[in-house]
Amino acid sequence: MATFLVMVLSNPVEGREDEFNEWYEHTHLDEVLRSAGFRSAQRFHLDAEVGFKASHRYLALYETEGESAQEVIDRLNASRGERQQSKSIDSRGAALWVFSPTGERHELPA
């Protein structure tokens, strides 16, 4: 089994940011972990940018294991019905990518 990082970029529907954040943080992340068998999940908000303007203000990072990137996507798609969807996410502009490591993790010694 290989380790994969799943990166999701998204924005809330205009005027529904509080609802979006509540749903994503307190419902969606845990539902993805349970339904798709992912190992971890964490959200981030864009606070600064240099260079071209980012199109998305929110990032969700998931860590999982799988046979392939396509298998990870297939698992997500197959389990979609087990997760509550929210009309507060701008799903037309959301994007998902699955990454695999190209080298070892580098860490500073404790």
H or E segment and range at residue 35: helix 29-36
- Using one digit for the tens of pLDDT, what is the confidence trace for 54-76? 999 999 999 999 999 999 999 99
Residue 73 and residue 63: Cα distance in Å, rounded? 13
- Residue 105 covered by a domain: no
- How many folded domains does the chain comprise? 1
The conformation of residue 53, written as its DSSP 8-state character, comes to P
Which domain range does residue 61 map to? 2-99
Average of pLDDT values for 31-35?
Answer: 97
The answer as to whether 38 is a domain residue is: yes
For residue 43, the domain's CATH number is: 3.30.70.100
Is 109 part of any domain?
no
For tokens 């979006």, the residue is 20
The angle subtended at Cα 45 by Cα 39 and Cα 49, nearest 5°, is 125
The one-letter code for the residue type at 30 is D
**Tens digits of residue pLDDT in 3-12:** 999 999 999 9
Secondary element (H or E) of residue 77:
helix 69-78
